[in-house]
Homo-oligomer: A and B are copies of this chain.
Amino acid sequence: MTVERSAPPTISEVAAEAGVGRATAARTLGGYGYVSPELRSRVLAAAERLGYRANALARSMSTGVSHTLGVIVADIGNPFFAGVVRGISDASRARGFDTIVLSTHESLDEEIAAMHVLIDKQVDGIVVASAALGPKTSAHIAEAWSRGIPVVLVDRAVPGLELDAVVIDNREAAREAVTALIAAGHRRVGFVWGPPIAGRPDRRRDLVDAAARNLWTDGERLRGYLDALDDAGLPFDADLVMVGEKTEERAIAEVERMLGLDDRVTALFCTETDAVTGALRAIRATGFRVPADVSLIGFDDSSWAAVMEPPLTMIEQPMLALGTRAAEVLLALIDGAPRSQPDGAFRHTLDTRLVERSSVAPPSA
Q: Give the B-binding residues of A (Cβ under 8 A).
A: 1, 3-8, 51, 53-58, 60-61, 66, 68, 75-79, 81-83, 85-87, 89-90, 93, 98-103, 116-117, 119-122, 142-143, 145-148, 161-163, 248, 273-274, 277, 280-281, 284, 302-309, 319-320
Contacts and interface: CB of A to CB of B under 8 A. Distances in A.
Contacts of A320: 77
Given A56-B121, A86-B77, A100-B100, A146 B3 contact: yes
Contacts of A66: 57
Given A3-B145, A142-B3, A303-B277, A89 B76 contact: yes
A122 B57 contact: yes
A107 to B, nearest CB: 12
A144 to B, nearest CB: 10
The 5 closest A-B pairs by CB, nearest first: A77-B86, A82-B82, A304-B304, A309-B309, A56-B120
A143 B85 CA distance: 28
A277 B5 contact: no
Copies of the polypeptide in the assembly: 2
B79 A79 contact: yes
Contact of A122 (B5, B7, B56, B90): B56
A93 B75 CA distance: 13
A82 B78 contact: yes
Given A3-B142, A8-B148, A99-B100, 5 more contacts: A5-B145, A56-B117, A56-B121, A57-B61, A277-B306
Contacts of A1: 142, 145, 161-163
A248 B303 CA distance: 10
Contacts of A93: 102-103
A82 B77 contact: yes
Contact of A120 (B53, B116, B143): B53
Contacts of A75: 86
Contact of A77 (B57, B85, B248, B304): B85
Contacts of A90: 103
Contacts of A146: 3-6
Contacts of A284: 307
Nearest to A87: B77
A40 B233 CA distance: 67
A81 B78 CA distance: 11
A69 to B, nearest CB: 10
Nearest to A90: B103
B61 A58 contact: yes
A102 B93 CA distance: 9
